[in-house]
Amino acid sequence: MDDRQSGLTSGLVEQIDIGVIILDSSLRIQYWNSFISQCSGKVLEQARHLPFTQIFPEADTRHLHRMLVQVRDHGQHVYSQWRDNPYLIHLPYKPASTPGALMLQNTLLLPFHDPEGRQCFGLLLYDSTDLARRDEQLDAVLETLSGKQAEREQLLKKLEKANSQLLQSEKLAAIGQLAAGVAHEINNPIGYVFSNLKTLAGYVQDLLHIVDAVDGAANLDELHRLKRSMEYDYIRNDVEALIGESEDGIDRVKKIISALKDFSHMEEEAFRCADLHQGLDSTLNVVNNELKYKAEIVKEYGQLPEVECIPSQINQVLMNLLVNAAHAMEQFGRITLRSNQEGDWVWLEVEDTGKGIEPHLLNRIYEPFFTTKPVGKGTGLGLALSYSIVQKHHGRIEVSSELGQGTRFRIWLPVQQPTPDSAGSPPL
Ligand SMILES: Nc1ncnc2c1ncn2[C@@H]1O[C@H](COP(=O)(O)OP(=O)(O)OP(=O)(O)O)[C@@H](O)[C@H]1O
Ligand SMILES: [Mg+2]
């Protein structure tokens, strides 16, 4: 290195904010830069040629000796971090820091040879106080974050618990609602069947009275008189009406009971892979009589794989949708059946050109016993049953309806029933 070069180098070394100390092979101080002078408060001229550990006795530690062994014996560069050893030497006068506060140091000790070929060591000291402070802040942030994470996990757990309680209470509410609905629905027909029975019992008494009189009557006129006085003609007409009405009432109760049985017997059949188009076609055959005078049927089937389901229950859902569509027709219309696959899901659609559903009723149609049909026509259980069947299949029912235009129901089903931990949602 020529003079100019070494002048440049030492100019640089005097300027940088890194401590530079040069030691000879027996660790005597040869040189340090102005950074070390400023920060240590010591004078280089008084320290030159003196042992390093005499000038900086605090450095005489196992740490320094370990570094030296590696540098001297193995010729390695040894870097050590403030985290392992915060201070190699004490530097209390670092500019812009609190006086007296020691400078945290990262250090590099390396071997080199001077121009005459003598072994020397360079000791570089980097100020890592700011870095350490940032590290500490980072640690604090990390700690807060992990606290927050733990809080979040706890909240999630609470939420899950609340959710399952809610589900439970929703189930209970649904059962309560169902029971109240059943009671209400059955109460009415049972009420009038009971009162009809009472009236009929009175009529039977009167009729028996006439029949008993046959034996004791003196002549036919007396019997005729008795018959007239009992208003036989009125009784006769009323008996027929009462019996007819009672039969209707019992029929209605029977219908409700059988729908309820469908609810409770839903566990009976097993899941198996089935062709949904085949199920739809055979359901169409069953309800054809209801449909053929109400609408033309248009099929727009897509490609469907076999779907894991309880076929009879899916057919029942389809039947409910088809019958509802037919009932919604105010004049001869069209029922379009569509299907398709999207990833792991399939959907079936029943669209009608019927009268539509009023927007404010859209969220009530799945309620048990909700019906807008005249008394005796609908039980209001069709969609409630369909909903629970689809739910049991881990699927979803969607409805969109426009008043006066028509209604479209779409059932989403997973191709495969999920294992307990793989349940997903159909694409939106
Ligand atoms: N396709 C549709 N178009 C118009 N309204 C519909 C349609 N489907 C269902 N609804 C409305 O939803 C109500 C509830 O339907 P749901 O099938 O549950 O009972 P319901 O048809 O009235 O009686 P049930 O099916 O028990 O004989 C119906 O009364 C009707 O108001
Ligand atoms: Mg219905």
Do the first three CATH levels of 3-127 and 272-414 match, i.e. the same topology? no
Specify the DSSP class assigned to residue 156.
H
CATH class, range 272-414:
alpha beta
Residues 191-215 pLDDT 10s: 889 999 999 999 999 888 888 888 8
Q: Residues 6 or more apart from 380 whose CB is under 8 A from it? A: 181, 367, 368, 369, 370, 371, 373
Q: Do 17 and 97 touch, CB atoms closer than 8 A?
A: no
* Atom 19 of ligand 1, nearest CA residue: 380
CATH class, range 3-127:
alpha beta
Expressed in angstroms and rounded, the spacing between residue 251 Cα and the centre of ligand 2 is 17
Q: Retrieve residue 402's tokens.
A: 């426009």
pLDDT of residue 289: 75
Q: Do 328 and 334 touch, CB atoms closer than 8 A?
A: no
Q: Domain extents for the chain?
A: 3-127, 171-264, 272-414
Residue to substitute in 371, 387, 398 for testing ligand 1 pocket (most ligand atoms within 8 angstroms of CB): 371
Expressed in angstroms and rounded, the spacing between residue 337 Cα and the centre of ligand 1 is 18
Residue to substitute in 253, 331, 336, 365 for testing ligand 1 pocket (most ligand atoms within 8 angstroms of CB): 365
Expressed in angstroms and rounded, the spacing between residue 405 Cα and the centre of ligand 2 is 19
Expressed in angstroms and rounded, the spacing between residue 360 Cα and the centre of ligand 1 is 14
Residues 267-316 pLDDT 10s: 557 899 999 999 899 888 878 777 888 999 999 999 999 999 998 889 88
Question: Can you state the percent helix, strand and coil of the chain, rounding each to 5?
Answer: 50, 20, 30
Low-confidence ranges of the chain (pLDDT < 70): 1-2, 95-100, 164, 166-178, 180-181, 259-268, 376, 421-428
Q: Which atom of ligand 1 is least distant from the CA of 325?
A: 1
* Atom 7 of ligand 1, nearest CA residue: 324
